[in-house]
Structure 1
Amino acid sequence: MSSTISDIAKLAGVAKSTVSRFLNGGSVGEATRKKIEKAIKETGYTPNPFAQSLKAKKTNIIGTIVPRLDSYAASQTLIGIDEQLKEMNYQMLISNTSQSLEREIESIYSFANQKLAGIILLATEITDKHIQAFEAVNIPVLLIGQEHKEFHSLIHDDYHAGYEMGQYVLEKGYRNIAYLGVTEKDIAVGVKRKQGFKQAISEGPECQVHYYETEFNIPAAQASAYKIIKESKPSIFVCATDNIALGVLKATYSEGLTIPKDLAITGFGGYEVTEIIHPSLTTAKFFYKEAGQTAAKHMVDLVNERPIEKLTISKYEIIERESVDTNSKHIL
């Protein structure tokens, strides 16, 4: 069984990031260097031959790290990245982390060890370990979906989408509202969308809003919706993602309620399925494929040391469909 960076780190008594920095040609202290070299000799560790052969060369491969592949947003973003990179004679290498932050960090170091030209991270959360890894690998990094002042980022306009959705709900006359969001560890979806919505509510007429949290998947949202319907009997659910809205939709039908007569629902995302289902879903549509294309262009600029803005904000659009009663100004 071949040895790994983890084996070297454990034997040398140092962090994996330190070993990775050493293998990647980064600076480490003399004592640390000797420990790592000794551990490499004892374990018989052999660096990735692909990375070794590219030691002094610039590749045309961009590493893209994605938290999950079974996501409409992720898949459309990846399509955009891939198509644009091909046009620019670059290739994409994907690492799926299955929503594991530990695997996400490992992927950053792995891509750097393979001497990839740059890394695009479809981020759900930026931790201190992410920042440490970005600084250690010393290659261009671009975040999609989350913003960080130290790194180039492309985000969706979550705050203003939430704000406009709040205005829309109030305009349609809804006053007993359930907002079903996600963990605030996710700044974009869990915080900014909710902040924008709250701001719009605070500027509007008096109403009752209950805020709840669930997970991103449909079954969890469905289970949450059952409890909320019984607890607060809202006239509308504002859901932080389209998947959550689909979970609420299932719960609503199970309770024998009619949409939008008995209960209205809105989402965020603009997934294709939301147009096909009946009733079709009112949602804030984000343009994921176009965002992926823009991210690919920006990454190639970074690789070639051309200046780009630190922060790019992608557009959105409120799509009005059947899940909201547009004639119900009287609703309370």
Structure 2
Amino acid sequence: MGKITLKDIAQETGYSISKISRAISGSGAINNDDKQKILATARKMGYKTTTVELAEENNSAKIGVLIPRFDAMLTADFIQRLNDRLLEMGFIVDYYTVEGSTMEEPDLLRYVLDHNYKAVIYKPRQVKRDVQAVINTSKTPIFSYGQVYGNCININYDNSKMMYEMTNIAINKGAHSILYVGTFKDDIEVGYKRFDGFMKAVTEHNVTYHYLESACDIDASYEMAKKMDFSNYDAVITANDKLALGVFRYLSENNIIAGKDIILSGVENYDETRTVSPSLTTVKLDNDAVVDKIVDKLDKNDFNAENQIVPYTILRRDSL
């Protein structure tokens, strides 16, 4: 038999993988009889890399994960897929969140890195110089998902190409005057690169455009929309679904039909985009591909800093 995993032990004992993980890591609530049964079975099967005794003195089987918050839809989906795969590989996983922490993000990242994990998986909100300074001095491999930092294994989407393609779809549909609603440009991925792709498309086709920035929030986008005269535009291209949904709310309240009276699109494939009527065109980001790349590199102990591009799919719906 090859390397024994938590999944193998779960199948042997009949317990869940999460329960196996709690027993072997020595953390979390678990009945002592169940814990001892799991540990005995693990030793019998030859599972030696992450027993409680070894885990206390060797963090090579432990992964740290730092995310903004758990309840963001895209983050929650990513974490669920990631967690299952890491547990199957036999890793013990510790989670940290920026929101709710008493520490500032760079201090929290430094705190996580000081735990000497095999690797840290980091999903930052945006690229910041103070965070970059911490990353530059890290000896722990860091996987950065969603943003691009130096000295990391960066896993991301081609945000410029994505928005270039989305904008071209709107132009080919007949849009001549387009409003782009973006996030702040000091965020070099969602803010800057998506805007860069939009600009490339409208410049090539000599299309009239107007640019607005909004906080990445449905309510903020809705309040911004109240101040706009949408009769001036054929299309509204937004940097993400939160912005699109804020605009959609205002349009609906004013009997402006997305897809008929005006084109509207977002990015990230929130559940609401397919349940509102008319449904919203958006972009599905492939979280499985992100997890596959992380797992593959962990398995191979390949921690060379580099940029990895993962696929996306434009979901064209009623609003475009």
Letter in 2 for 1:177: I
Cα distance per residue 1:208-263 (max 9 Å; x no partner): 11010001111001111121236x63221101001111111101112222222222
Indicate if the aligned counterparts of 1:78 and 1:289 stay in contact, CA closer than 8 A: no
* Partner amino acid, structure 2, of 1:229: D
The separation in 2 between residues aligned to 1:100 and 1:252, in whole angstroms, is 37
RMSD between aligned residues: 2.4
CA distance in structure 2 between the partners assigned to 1:168 and 1:155 by the alignment: 22
1:33-53 Cα deviation digits (max 9, x unpaired): xxxxxxxxxxxxxxxxxxxx9
CA offsets, 1:95-152, max 9 Å, x none? Answer: 1112989532222222233332221111232333223322444211111111134322
**Structure 2: stretches of 5+ with no match in the other structure:** 1-53
2:180/2:209 contact within 8 Å kept: yes
Output aligned runs, 1:65-144, within 5 Å: 65-98=66-99, 103-144=104-145
Q: CA deviation at 1:308?
A: 5.2
1:59 shift after superposition: 3.5
Partner of 1:314: 310
When residues 82 and 223 of structure 1 are mapped into structure 2, their CA distance, relative to the original with a 3 A threshold, is: same
Partner of 1:218: 218
Match of 2:276 in 1: 277
**1:83–1:293: 8 Å Cα contact kept in structure 2?**
no
Q: Distance in 1 between matches of 2:113 and 2:56?
A: 11
5+ residue gaps in structure 1? 1-52, 325-332
Check whether the contact 1:55–1:115 (CA below 8 A) recurs between aligned residues: no
Contact 2:214–2:221 at 8 Å: present in 1 too?
A: yes
Q: Secondary structure at the match of 2:149?
A: coil
Aligned to 2:246: 247
Q: Which residue of the partner structure matches residue 48 of structure 2?
A: none
Distance (whole Å) between structure 1 residues aligned to residue 207 and residue 276 of structure 2: 30
Higher alpha-carbon deviation: 212-221 or 289-298:
289-298
Q: Which stretches of structure 1, 4 residues or more, deviate above 6 A after TM superposition?
A: none
1:123 is aligned with what amino acid? Answer: P
Letter paired with 1:76:
D
TM-score, with normalisation over the residues of structure 1?
A: 0.74
Query: Relative CO higher for 1 or 2, CA cutoff 8 Å, sep ≥ 6?
Result: 1
Q: Distance in 2 between matches of 1:219 and 1:118?
A: 37
Q: Could you say if the C-alpha distance between residues 147 and 323 of structure 1 is closer, same or farther in structure 2, counting changes exceeding 3 Å?
A: same
Aligned residue type for 2:132: I
Match of 2:209 in 1: 209
**Farther-moved stretch of structure 1 (175-184 vs 129-138):** 129-138
SS at match of 2:195: helix
